[in-house]
Amino acid sequence: MNLIFALRNLLRHRRRTLAVVFTVAFGVGALFIFHGFNTGVMNQYRDNTVRSRYGHAQVNSIGYRDQVFEKPWEHWIEDPDALVAELKTLDGVEQVFPRMNFFALLTNGEITVSGRGQGVDGKEESKFFNTLNVEIGENLNTQVEGVLLGKGLATALKAKIGDRVTVMANTVHGSINALDFEVIGVFHTGSKDFDDVVFRVQLPLAQELLDTHAVEAVSLAFSKVEDWDRVNHQFGERLKEYEITPFEVLDKIYYKHSVDWLQSQFGIIQSIILVIVFLGIFNSISTSIFERKQEIGTLRANGEGRWDVFKLLCVEGGILGLIGALVGLGIGVLVTHTLLGGGIFMPPAPGITRQFHVFIELQASFALYAFTLGAGCALLSTAIASLKVVRMDIASALRSV
């Protein structure tokens, strides 16, 4: 019976009903979109880290990352082919990238600068590492003698596409070796420290330069980020002589610290939004209930008890909250796929030097949270405002204007 009377009251007071519904709706919609924006930002950070530098995880010899060695190549992976073959059999691993890092001098005959080389499988890595942002030229793929330069390194060398660059490095035996390469492209990742020193060449030539068949590490690409636990479990059972490290640990300074900082900041902003949403809903519902003092006084005078009136008002508030929260989620989806469908261009964030494109990524799990929050705020606001009104004596309520 309360439900029928509540629906009649809401239809009878359409202006107040619409005011409360849209207050709840805009609050829920704003919270839903803001959370989608936060998710988009975090995923941009993650994708930039995974698909420009590290992959989802990296495999090294046990203890290699925990200390500094005088001769690090003595602790590299001596039989990379066997390890790569084993890694490809792990459930969840889609691609495997053997790599090596080394320090070298680069010269064009007039200018000499130091850099940090990466020996990679250009053909395979070009398929996965697609956020490297090649500004000029092309990515390292099948070019045997190609070298891909970081933006800062290319600027220091005044290098142009097609220029010849000599790379000099110490072999693992202590002698000096040099190879000539052709500049095929210039890239930037958004991280200045990385772009100023890093260059990439094909792994076989890097091994020839250092006179070794070993590799320093093997990077992995998973089917999806969530496969880490599954892959790590299999790895621990089958490859005990190696260790595997996830990308968030590999890039703790840029990725992990930045994401932790942003999450804390977004948490504070979200709390502020929650308070504003609750106060807005409370204000609208309280105003609506206080405007109905005479109506409530009449119900009391006709024999309705305080508890009966309170339950009726709470049912009304619950209905308003449910409808408003549902409309709010609809508004969030509509705005995201229309006005914000092309994403938002953001200025450089902590740790990067370029703009990045953020897409609003609405989360189904958060939709339930936002819906419950909006409906709950409406119900709680109704209960708080109703308690004050139903406690008034009948005469005072009837005299209210």
| Residue 120: half-sphere exposure toward Cβ, Cα within 13 Å | 31
Confidence band for 326, pLDDT divided at 50, 70 and 90: very high
What is the per-residue pLDDT for 315?
A: 86
Residue % of the chain over a pLDDT of 70 = 95
What is the per-residue pLDDT for 397?
A: 64
Average pLDDT over residues 15-21: 82
227-285: per-residue pLDDT in tens?
999 999 999 999 989 999 999 888 876 777 777 887 888 888 878 877 877 887 778 77
Rounded CA-CA distance 177/158 in Å is 23
The two structure tokens encoding residue 73: 């190549």
What is the per-residue pLDDT for 351?
A: 56
What is the per-residue pLDDT for 349?
A: 63
What amino acid occupies position 238? Answer: R
Rounded CA-CA distance 209/228 in Å is 34
The two structure tokens encoding residue 357: 């494109």
DSSP 215: B
298-323: per-residue pLDDT in tens?
777 777 777 877 888 888 888 888 99
CB 169 within 8 A of CB 117: yes
Signed CA dihedral, 387, 392, 393, 399: sign only: negative
Rounded CA-CA distance 368/375 in Å is 11
What is the per-residue pLDDT for 393?
A: 72
Is the pLDDT reported for residue 401 higher than 70?
no
Rounded CA-CA distance 132/118 in Å is 14
Instruction: Supply the pTM of this predicted model.
Output: 0.75
352-384: per-residue pLDDT in tens?
666 677 889 998 889 999 899 888 888 888 888
Rounded CA-CA distance 195/202 in Å is 18
Residue % of the chain over a pLDDT of 90 = 44
Nearest C-alpha neighbor of 368 from the set 19, 17, 72, 28: 28
Is the pLDDT reported for residue 46 higher than 90?
no
Helix (H) or strand (E) holding 218: strand 217-222
Rounded CA-CA distance 345/339 in Å is 13
Rounded CA-CA distance 20/10 in Å is 10
Tell me the pLDDT of the chain averaged across its residues: 86
Average pLDDT over residues 66-73: 86
